[in-house]
Amino acid sequence: MGNSRLSKEDREEIMKKTKYSPEDIEQLIKDFKVAAASDKKSGFSQEDFIKFFKKRFSNWDDASMVRMFTLFDSDGNGVLDVKEFITALHMMTKAPVVEKLGFFFDVFDADKSGYLEREEVDKLVNVIVNCAKGLGYSVSDAVDYGVSIISCRHISDVDKGMSREDFIKSANQSDQFIKTICFYESACMQLY
């Protein structure tokens, strides 16, 4: 049923980082046990992670979802334990928007250079366009919108590409962008 145990130190770290209460942590552990129950490994598999988060990020491509999973799989064992699972839920739902944008940048900065180069920008724009289309934008408007977020006017060093700082600053200025990529605050006070 997965590694659903948290040490006292892990609980304290999670509560400090996420502002989850002890009761919230207990509920998340229960949810983890249900989600991990279908996996014969020691936690939440990549397949289950994608299935779980596709409900919230339905317009994201599978490659981006795999990259997201990889970033959350902090120990690199191919399975999310309960601490990684709770961290993922927090980041994707309750974390401050600036943290979410930084994480979003990291999903697309595949080479970990700190900059989005052309191929990475293309993948980012593709996700933005798909999300915008899913919200009812025309293809033309969706493309224009996606390109506006990563335009050269927002890039401090065009030769290197768009830095993490440039991306966060540009994207954070647009409530529409935040909503388009589903990084808005939860409509109700739920854990996720």
Structure tokens at 159: 């030769």
- Over residues 169-181, the pLDDT tens digits come to 888 887 777 766 6
Describe the crossing of helices 62-72 and 97-108 by its angle, rounded to 10 degrees: 110
Tell me the Cα Rg of the chain.
17
Report the pLDDT value the prediction gives residue 191, as an integer from 0 to 100: 43
- Over residues 88-124, the pLDDT tens digits come to 888 877 888 888 889 889 989 989 999 988 888 888 8
Q: Which residue from 187, 186, 171, 179 is spatially nearest to 137, judged by alpha carbons?
A: 179
Task: For residue 11, give Cα distances in angstroms to 36, 95, 145, 189.
Answer: 19, 17, 41, 21
For the chain, list residues with pLDDT below 70.
Answer: 1-4, 35, 37-41, 150-156, 179-192
H-only helix segments in 37-75: 46-54, 62-72
Do 154 and 169 form a contact (C-beta atoms < 8 A)?
yes
- Assessment of whether the complete model's pTM goes beyond 0.85: no
